[in-house]
Structures are given as C-alpha cells and as structure tokens.
Amino acid sequence: MSLYVTRLGGDHDRTRFDCGRPSLDDWFRHQASQADRKQGSARVFVLVDDEIEEGRLPLGYYAVCGHAVLFEELPEDVRKGQPPQHPVAAVLLARLAIDGPLQRDPVRRLGETLLADVVRQVIQANDHVATPLLVVDALDEQAANFYKRYGFVELPQKPLRLVARLKDIRKTFRLD
Amino acid sequence: MPRARDARLEARLSPADFDTISHAAAAQGLSRTAFVVQAAMDAAHKLLRDQQLTTIAVAHGESFMEWLDRPAEVLSNMKPLVDAPVLPHR
C-alpha cells in the first residue's frame, strides 16, 4: 500500500466515492473539479493509493480555500467614531471526507492522517503568507466533535464552525 | 448593462411542495417563478458568503480579539496530528 496526496485531476474517478454524507459526496462528484480548476474558489486534494487502480480512485479528499473572520458592522451612532474592525485572514478547511469502507479502519486512521496533512499544508502556506487562523467547517455535530478532539474550538455562536490559531498549531508542531 | 435571462432551470417536485411554494409566493405577491428564483438566489448568496466569511456578533468581538492576541500555546489534543504518518505529495 502506497498512499499519497495529490491535487484533484481529470483522471480521478469520483463517481464511486461514497462517504455516506450526500452533500460531501455530491459536491465531490459534481462540483469539486469546477471549484478547483474553473472557478479557483477552492483547492481540492485527493488521497489515493498507487496500488488501487493506479492511484485513480480517491480514498478521501479535502478542500481548502481562503477565508476571513469579521465582526458584524456596528451602526455609526453606536460605533461613535471607532474604526471598524479589520477582518482576520484565515484558511478554511471547507470539506474533508474519507470513503466509506475506510472510515472505520482502526489501524490507518485515515481521517486523522488526512487532517494532519491539511494542517501540515496550511503550516507550509503560512510560512509564505501569514494567516492567523485555520477555520474548519463541520457538516454536523459528529464532525464537529471530530475536530474538537484535535484541539479545534467553536467560534462564538457557530457550533459547526471551529477554529485553531496558527501560532498554536506551529508551537504544537515545534516550529516556533 | 442588462443581463439576458435566457438560462432555464427546471425542477420536479411533489404536489405538496408545489402547493407550499405557491402559497408562499402568493403571500409575498410574487409569481412562483420569481419566488423560487429569489429564494434560490438568497440561499446561494448566503452559502457563498458563508464560505468566504465567518461573521462574529459584536458582543463576542472583544473576547475573540483577546483570545487571538494571547501568547501561543501547545494544543495537547493536536499531538496525534503531529505524530500521524506524513503523506507524500505528488
């Protein structure tokens, strides 16, 4: 078994991908290529295995894009001359999914492995373009709990949108 | 610049859903088509905005900024990610 990650390409067979969450499956099958190649609104990476259909069958995927956290704009009479808050730049992990049969593989823990890859890639990007936050979009409470297990915390009043500071991530990975 | 409205969108739906949409459209004084297009566009804009932005209520702004400014700390729960196998990229 020879797992690796690569950017989604036209030769990847997405038609059989089934993580059990229709919105993640449908987006991957029908929208992912357009988002990455045509619109440039997200980068989509797939987890494949050289020994399974010569690396053409995605076993998992994730999609990341630029993001910003900002505060609701206060009306001028409440703000009383205070400047508006600037948005805080972030990377958004918009989607992460593992194909069904592999989700409960207790040995390889592919969800954890793929999340680690996301974090490592975001750290690398952060070496070149500083972004204070990594935000993740959880599909539901179960997914949110998955991210919480690794130290992500809920944004205020947004239980399905979680966040970690890049400076904490870098320190955890002993980079700073 | 005026935009041509020549793209078509069709949908098949249950009679019950059709009636619900018809009643809602009538309540807003819109045709069914105008109502459906407006609702779909509102949902699309919200979804795209949510993908680009996370908005935090002003009431939480100060504590959020304080959290952001705190010194870096090790996230002990994230250690399994540090120890996870490194996947090669090709």
**What pLDDT, on the 0 to 100 scale, is given for residue A74?**
60
Going by C-beta distance under 8 Å and a sequence separation of 6 or more, which residues neighbour residue A55? A4, A6, A48, A49
What is the least distance, in Å, from the CA of B81 to any CA of chain A?
5
Span B66-76, pLDDT tens digits: 999 999 999 99
**What pLDDT, on the 0 to 100 scale, is given for residue B85?**
95
Interface ipTM? 0.90
Average pLDDT, integer, range A122-126: 96
**What pLDDT, on the 0 to 100 scale, is given for residue B52?**
87
Can you state the angle between helices B32-52 and B15-27, rounded to 10 degrees? 90
Average pLDDT, integer, range A72-99: 79
- With CA atoms as reference, the chain B residue closest to A112 would be B81
Mutate to test the interface with B, among A171, A174, A175, A176 (most CBs of B within 10 A): A171
**Angle subtended at Cα A36 by Cα A139 and Cα B54, rounded to the nearest 5 degrees:** 45
B81 and A170: CB-CB below 8 Å?
no
Q: Which of A11-20, A26-35, A167-176, B46-55 has the lowest mean pLDDT?
A: B46-55
Q: Which of A65, A132, A161 sits opposite B54 (nearest CB)?
A: A161
DSSP states of A40-76: -S-EEEEEEETTSGGGTS-SEEEEEEEEEEEEPPPPH
What is the least distance, in Å, from the CA of B26 to any CA of chain A?
31
Chain A partners within 8 Å of B60 (Cβ): 156-157
- Give the A window 14-53 contacts with B, CB below 8 Å: 41, 47
Span B38-48, pLDDT tens digits: 999 999 998 88
The alpha carbon of residue A81 and the mean position of all alpha carbons in its chain are separated, in whole angstroms, by 38
A74 or A105: which leads in pLDDT: A105
- With CA atoms as reference, the chain A residue closest to B72 would be A168
B58 and A74: CB-CB below 8 Å?
yes
